[in-house]
Chain A
Amino acid sequence: GEDVEQSLFLSVREGDSSVINCTYTDSSSTYLYWYKQEPGAGLQLLTYIFSNMDMKQDQRLTVLLNKKDKHLSLRIADTQTGDSAIYFCAANPGGFKTIFGAGTRLFVKA
């Protein structure tokens, strides 16, 4: 079945760019998503990319998809302290089921 893997931690300075990486195993995944989770809260859908796209930009967020390598990344420009959270990569291999990675904890130092 589908497996989604992410690095566990990332630390950046305020104002720098953050790049969070993810790999997935099922090449039939149609949609890939990024979610954000702040302490004590549920997940917030940040953005998604369709599998026939290479890149999607949404304000400070840029998603890059390398379908050949099954690699997805989320770039956050001008990272702020309020961006400190856990970021989950998720893949939809078809139908309703979505598989989530374990999350990358982003620490933003002032």
Chain B
Amino acid sequence: DTGVSQDPRHKITKRGQNVTFRCDPISEHNRLYWYRQTLGQGPEFLTYFQNEAQLEKSRLLSDRFSAERPKGSFSTLEIQRTEQGDSAMYLCASSSTSGRTPGGQFFGPGTRLTVL
């Protein structure tokens, strides 16, 4: 069990550029979540996948945000035309519908995005 991994760990970009983040969940987990966390706050839900199906998107996820999980394994989160307000930590988490911790999510280390 290698845990949830995210790449890159840090991203600095200029306003208006596009960025893409990758998440590799725990291999046997069928559920994958993306969250955004700003300083002094808890994670805010962005979107959720069960296998390859994106089942829920938060209203926080504007049209500039898109997420995919093409084969039900890794996922990508793309932000187009970044704005300074997009600066945050983007967290990925995964969980299993079966297992010892019902509903409990396992988080990756996050990607810290800074938009200049």
Residue ranges of A at the interface with B (Cβ–Cβ < 8 Å)? 4, 30-31, 33, 35, 40-45, 48, 50, 88, 90, 92, 96-103
Closest chain B residue to A101, Cβ basis? B42
Contacts of A30 in B (CB 8 A): 103
Contacts of B33 in A (CB 8 A): 96
Partner of B42, one of A44, A97, A100: A100
A42-B6, A96-B48, A103-B40 are known; give 20 further A-B pairs, CB within 8 A: A4-B42, A30-B103, A31-B102, A31-B103, A33-B103, A41-B109, A42-B93, A42-B109, A42-B110, A43-B91, A45-B105, A45-B106, A48-B103, A48-B104, A50-B102, A90-B42, A98-B103, A100-B43, A102-B42, A103-B41
B65 CB within 8 Å of chain A:
no
A45 and B45: CB pair below 8 A? no
Cα distance A45–B31 in the bound complex, in angstroms: 16
Residue ranges of B at the interface with A (Cβ–Cβ < 8 Å)? 4, 6, 31, 33, 40-45, 48, 50, 55-56, 91, 93, 101-110
A42 and B91: CB pair below 8 A? yes
Closest chain B residue to A50, Cβ basis? B102
Partner of A42, one of B41, B104, B108: B108
B109 and A96: CB pair below 8 A? no
